């Protein structure tokens, strides 16, 4: 009986590992929203890390979070590092491209709670009297992450934060 249970468990582990090995080597999470404000106003809120506390979904996870700004004041070359509690984690962002009123590309490096190196892209486009913002994050998916993603969805976890952030960005941008 014990041998049968061990055999079933080993087979289950092998199946999980084989299925995980077939998963893509990269991930992508994307959400979009429409904001009743000009692209210039939306762009200004995204390209300046000093303005992120007004709309970012992660800024209020730790009231004692330490923030460090560096490089350029805003736009290409601006950096932002944070150290927070277990929820906020620790990491650093750098704007690597800022095309006025249309795109902000950010290199983001997480060091806690786990190490990850990803790219965040904000595509901003005029849409009649509104602005469409497409917020995406892409990055490599190591084997252990592939295994974890069999049991939990990166898209659901991060996507919810993106939705919350876009709603806050909309509120802030639409204020008079």
**The overall pTM is greater than 0.75:** yes
Q: pLDDT tens digits for 27-83?
A: 899 999 999 999 999 999 999 999 999 999 988 888 899 999 999 999 999 999 999
- Contacts with 170 (C-beta within 8 Å, 6 or more apart), sequence order: 33, 34, 35, 36
24: exposed, middle or buried (C-beta count within 10 Å: 0-12, 13-18, 19+)?
exposed
Average pLDDT, integer, range 12-29: 75
Q: pLDDT tens digits for 78-115?
A: 999 999 898 889 999 999 999 999 999 999 999 988 88
Cα(171)–Cα(133) distance, rounded to whole angstroms?
Answer: 13
35: exposed, middle or buried (C-beta count within 10 Å: 0-12, 13-18, 19+)?
buried
Place of tokens 């659901």: 156
């Amino acid at each position: 009986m014990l041998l049968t249970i061990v055999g079933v468990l080993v087979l289950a582990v092998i199946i999980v590992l084989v299925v995980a090995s077939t998963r893509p080597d990269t991930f992508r999470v994307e959400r979009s929203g429409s904001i009743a404000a000009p692209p210039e106003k939306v762009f200004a809120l995204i390209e300046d890390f000093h303005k992120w506390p007004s709309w970012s979904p992660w800024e209020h996870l730790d009231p004692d979070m330490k923030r460090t700004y560096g490089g350029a004041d805003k736009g290409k070359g601006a950096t932002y590092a944070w150290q927070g509690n277990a929820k906020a984690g620790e990491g650093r962002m750098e704007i690597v491209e800022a095309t006025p009123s249309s795109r902000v590309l950010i290199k983001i490096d997480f060091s806690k709670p786990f190490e990850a190196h990803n790219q965040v892209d904000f595509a901003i486009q005029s849409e009649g009297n509104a602005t469409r913002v497409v917020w995406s994050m892409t990055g490599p998916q190591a084997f252990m992450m592939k295994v974890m993603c069999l049991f939990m969805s990166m898209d659901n976890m991060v996507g919810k934060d993106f939705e919350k952030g876009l709603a806050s960005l909309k509120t802030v941008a639409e204020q008079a």
